[in-house]
Amino acid sequence: MSRDRGPLDNQPPGNQPPGGRPLAGRPPEDRPPAPDRPGDNGPGDNGLGRERLGHERYAAEIVAQTALLSGLVAAADPRVGVPSCPGWNLGQLARHLGGGQRWAAEILRTRATRPPPDRAFRDLSPYADEAAAPLAAWLDEGAAALARALVDTDPAEPLWTPVAGGTAGFYARRFAHETLVHRADAVLAVHEPFAAPADLARDALDEWMELGALPAMLDFHPHRRALLGPGRTLHLHADDGTPAGADWFVDLTGALMAHRRGGGPAAVSVRAPLTRLLLTVYGRTPARGHDVTVDGDGALLNRWLSTVGFG
C-alpha cells in the first residue's frame, strides 16, 4: 500500500486508532478529519459537533454515493488499478471504504470511547482478487448499516473521534465526504467523468480546509510550519457558475494556518470548475490542465497542496 488519505488522516498524537493510520483515502501516509463551519477558523473550537448539510442529508449521501460506487464496481474488473490510490486496485478501494463504514457504524452503535480495531480496512492484501457482484452488494450493506447507525444516534452525542471533542455528527459529515472522494477514485480508475452535488463538494472542501488548519496539525507535522511566512496567501475559485461563495482564501502569513470563505488579492490564485477544484485539493488530480488556471506563485500552490494534503 502506498499513500492513504481518509477520515482519520493527519491525526494528532494520542488520537490515532490502532495501527496509527488514517481511515480511508489512499494507501499509507498518515493524515485526519474536520470541524464544521464556513468562515475563519480559530483555535479552541474544532466544530466537530456541527453539521453544515444536516445529519440525515449526510446519511443519505453515504448511501447514495456508495450506490453509485457499487454500480461501478459491479460493472468493472475489481483488479483494475486505482491511479489516485497507488498500490490499490478497485476491489481493495471498495474493501477499504466498506470496512471503514462498518468501523464507524460500530463506534456509533456502541457509543465507543476508544477506537475499535481497524486492521480489516488497513491491511488490504487479502483483497487483491475480489469478485465484482458480491463486493458491490457488500458495499451497499455497509453504507446502509452506517446510515442506520447515524439516524439512530443524536448528532450531539459525545463519543470517540480522531480529533478531540467530537460527537456522532463528525462521522456523518466525514463519511459523506469520504465516500464521495473514494467514488471519485473509482471513477478516475475507469476513465469516466466525475460529477458531484455542488453543496456536497463545497462542504467537502470546507472540511479539508478546517482539518488542515487545526493547530494540532502543526504539532503532529512540524514540517508544515515551513509553509508559514509573509505574503503567503492563496485564493481558490470555482468558476463554473456555482452559487456565490464558491471561493476559499487561505492565509499562511500568521503563526497558524487560517482560512475563510471568500476571495481577495493573493500570492497565487486557482480557478477551476468546482469538482475539479475538489479533486485537485484532495490530491486526486494535478493543479494543471485545460480547465485549471493558476495565476501567481505556482510554487507556493504546489508546496501547499503537497504539504497540507488530507483527505
Owning domain of residue 243:
216-307
Q: Supply the pLDDT for residue 242.
A: 66
Q: Answer yes or no: is 262 within a domain.
A: yes
Average pLDDT, whole number, for the chain?
84
Q: Answer yes or no: is 263 within a domain.
A: yes
Number of domains in the chain: 1
Q: Is the pLDDT of residue 233 over 70?
A: yes
Q: Report the C-alpha gap between 85 and 49 in whole angstroms.
A: 30
Q: Report the C-alpha gap between 93 and 96 in whole angstroms.
A: 5
Q: Answer yes or no: is 266 within a domain.
A: yes
Residue 194: pLDDT band (50, 70, 90) is: very high
Q: Is the pLDDT of residue 195 over 90?
A: yes
Q: Answer yes or no: is 275 within a domain.
A: yes
Q: Supply the pLDDT for residue 22.
A: 38
Give the CA distances from residue 305 to residues 188, 189, 224, 281, 286, in Å, rounded to whole numbers and listed in that order: 19, 21, 11, 7, 10
166-197 per-residue burial string, b: 16 or more CB within 10 A, e: under 16:
bbbbbbbbbbbbbbbbbbbbbbbbeeeebebe
With a pLDDT cut of 90, the percent of the chain lying above it is 70
Q: Report the C-alpha gap between 277 and 244 in whole angstroms.
A: 15
Q: Answer yes or no: is 245 within a domain.
A: yes
The residues that bridge with 248 in the sheet, in sequence order, are 236, 261
**Packing angle, helices 55-75 and 168-189, rounded to 10:** 30
Q: Answer yes or no: is 278 within a domain.
A: yes
CATH code where residue 236 lies = 3.30.1050.10
Q: Is the pLDDT of residue 247 over 70?
A: yes
Q: Answer yes or no: is 292 within a domain.
A: yes
Q: Answer yes or no: is 176 within a domain.
A: no
Q: Is the pLDDT of residue 20 over 60?
A: no
State pTM to two decimals.
0.85
Q: Supply the pLDDT for residue 51.
A: 54
Q: Is the pLDDT of residue 187 over 70?
A: yes
Residue 243: pLDDT band (50, 70, 90) is: low
Average pLDDT on 160-175 reads 91
